[in-house]
Amino acid sequence: MVSATVGTGTALGAVVVSLLAAPAQAATPTGTNHAGTERAAVAAAAAPDDAGLRAILRTARSQGAPGAMARIDDNGTVHRLVEGVADRATGRTISTNDRFRVGSVTKSFSAVVLLQLVDEGRLKLDKSVNSYLPGLLPDSRITVRHVLSHRSGLYDYTNDMFARTVPGFEAVRNKVFSYRDLVKLSLKNPRTNAPGAAYSYSNTNFVVAGMLIEKLTGHSVGTEYQKRIFTPLNLTNTFYVHPGTAIPGRHANGYLNPDTAGAALVDSTKQTASWAQSAGAIISTPHDLDAFFSALLRGKLVSAAQLTQMTKWTRVNSNTSYGLGLRRRDLSCGISVYGHTGTVQGYYTYAFTTKDGKRSLTALANTSNNITVLNTMYRTLESAFCGKPATTAAARVAAPDAAPLERHEDIAPAITRD
């Protein structure tokens, strides 16, 4: 069953580009401009294509997602679309009010806390991580900026942890790791590149970010998220419950697709998410993610100087760049959107907003390890920000059989699946 509603409200708009980028490659920061200029403003954007979004959500369900949803905040006008179920056992329809695990969208929250600490004079982006956490890393040339931009060269421990999807998950579902445990897992492997030499996505980087937050503040990351972001923005449905295993209140269950074709989906809702922590353990809702990214791009969370640092881009592929805990996606209509993707067992999230924060999208499918669904959900960005396809090129991007645009990067980026 599909439902769609459009209304008005006062929610902050935001869009998180939340999922996975294409294969990593060497790149250099390109500053805040791209393709010569920022090519479009929200004022010039077409209205969201609700019919196109409905079709995308239906397609995702036909491809194996139990449910899918999208919420757009278009400068106070809210679009809500849903398809399928939040819980396969009860058959309850998925809702844009449901809470879910946001995965690597957490990285943007962690980056905001560290940039606030820069604003407070307690942290310097170009200072060695080891100057704050003595002896942690094997190379003192690795800076805070390298960590936040995935240019440290630190190996992603999830490559080994989740080389086999279901067995890997079940081995850590109820396990509690320390940050140092996770860093040690990374350091068992060679680094991928010299500090600053190339972009290479790694969850290890944002484990280090969590350690920096706790060292500099003397508090847990959960406390700092709450004090600095959740409470000021009134994100009442956003939580950091690690190492608790349950999602509080009404939520969408997550369903992990096994590697073996035809095997049953695994309900992966309950887990510590300790393997992710400051790299991926936040729980939220579409409303709260829209509000968060809108506030960030509107300059309500960090100073203009630090937002400029956050948006110094490293090119990842033809349509994706990475800043400091923030992704930029360049769409077919010339609009760029800003946010993050998120993959955690059972959930694919895209959360992005426009440069002025006035139009935001959060889209979710409650499955993972299904690259077909991942590619389908990417297309929600086109419908939300570009409107109905008006050109052949745009139509090709929005077409159900479009060439793959995404790959699994948020978890085990070196592992090729499907």
By C-alpha distance, which of 84, 325, 109, 81 is closest to 238?
A: 109
Alpha helices in 67-161 (DSSP H): 106-119, 129-132, 144-148, 158-161
Query: What residues are labeled active site?
Result: 104
Residue 228's DSSP bridge partners are: none
- Element of type H or E holding 348: strand 347-353
- Residue 352's nearest CA partner among 102, 134, 152, 123 is 102
Six-digit token pair at 191? 């680094």
Dist CA 35 CA 31 (whole Å): 11
Give the residue from 111, 144, 25 showing the smallest Cα distance to 325.
111
Measured over the CA atoms of residue 27, residue 31, residue 32 and residue 37, the dihedral's sign is negative
H/E stretch holding 213: helix 203-217
Contacts of 202 (CB under 8 A, 6+ apart): 150, 152, 154, 155, 156, 186, 192, 413
Distance CA 94, CA 111 (A): 30
How many angstroms separate the CA atoms of 240 and 244, rounded? 9
Q: Is the dihedral of CA 163, 168, 173, 177 positive or negative?
A: negative
Backbone angles phi, psi at 146, to 5 degrees: -60, -40
Tokens representing 274 are: 């300790």
Q: What distance in Å separates the CA atoms of residue 327 and residue 243, rounded to the nearest whole number?
A: 27
